[in-house]
Structure 1
Amino acid sequence: MSTQQTPHSQSCDRIRSNPKFQRLARQRAVLAWSLSAVVLGVYYLFIMLVAFVPGWLHLPLYEGSHLSRGIPLGAAIIVLSWLLTAWYVRSANTRFDSLSAEILQEAQA
């Protein structure tokens, strides 16, 4: 076996050692874990409501309503998940993609 590195592995090493790449990886991880924690926290709170105060979810939304509180609350959780996903996609397509392009340009130089 040869210990000589291929051009591809040298390029990968240059990218990994770039401070911009390390910042990019850290920012993406922090954003992804933060958004995941928010979603999991919201779902956990909803399950706690179902477990400990189910009667509150069965109450009508307002006087004379046939719609219970649980339905719009569940829908709000779904919409929140969509919005957080859109936030991540927007961040990935703006900040992260431009930084990735800079890193690749520096690695090719």
Structure 2
Amino acid sequence: MSMDAEMYQKIHDDPRFQQLVTQRARWVWSLSAIILVLYFSFILLIAFMPGWLAQPIEADTVMTIGIPLGVVIIVSAFVLTGIYVHMANTRFDALTQAILQDLS
């Protein structure tokens, strides 16, 4: 077994690595589910309630309810991405560095 293969096996067997994989997967799936629910809910609103989305926000404006809802969905995608990046740069990277330092 080569040195690289031994190192990879040690990393894989480390319980903190398993914790890292589990935590990262939980965050990825949770944030993905949130954005998918938001997107599909908006599409379902477009399909089944177009009249409601087309209503003006106020009587004397041309902006409809659908415009700010669409903007909220787009902004939420950026916010959720930012949350993941923050988690990756703090918790996940710290755990990765701790694993590598202990095994090297």
Q: Deviations over 1:46-82 (max 9, x none)?
A: 0110010100110001121111111111000000010
More divergent stretch after superposition (80-89 vs 61-70): 61-70
Aligned residue for 1:75, secondary structure, equals: helix
Highest CA radius of gyration, 1 or 2? 1
Q: How many corresponding residue pairs?
A: 104
Structure 2, unmatched stretches of 5+, are none
Gaps of 5+ in 1: none
CA distance in 2, matches of 1:71, 1:97: 38
What percent identity do the matched residue pairs reach? 45
Aligned equivalents of 1:39, 1:72: Cα separation in 2: 16
1:40 and 2:36 aligned = yes
Give me the TM-score of the superposition, normalised by structure 2.
0.98
Return the match for 2:95 from 80, 94, 99: 99
